[in-house]
Amino acid sequence: MPYVITSSCIDITDQSCVEECPVDCIYQGERKLYINPKECIDCGACEPVCPVEAIAQDRRVPEDQAEYIADNRRFFELPLPGRAEAVGAPGGSRTVGPIGVDTELVAQHAGN
């Protein structure tokens, strides 16, 4: 998985990264954004525009945020609460719009 969005994005979802992404691979949950690992081309355009520095390459995610690497994958590979099917790789976030639900890790994050 090339890039990951960590906890700094929770309840911020600025979306500067969405506007910058050339392949439309950043999806919106309820409280956080997620990068689709199957659609991301590892260009890095999203990372410098994030105002809260929540985006990093998977191998450069700070140790205290490492759980977000697997959590980002779960968002796309497993059915989310209230959904019968996984998000998968639908071909771009504009195709499906906001998903409106988060992974359990994000939903239970303090502040909700």
Q: Please, where are the H alpha helices in 44-102?
A: 67-77, 93-96
* Total tally of structural domains belonging to the chain: 1
Range of the domain at 67: 3-107
pLDDT digits (tens, 9 = 90+) for 58-74: 999 999 999 999 999 99
pLDDT digits (tens, 9 = 90+) for 9-49: 999 989 999 999 999 999 999 999 999 999 999 999 999 99
112 belongs to a structural domain: no
78 belongs to a structural domain: yes
CATH number at residue 89: 3.30.70.20
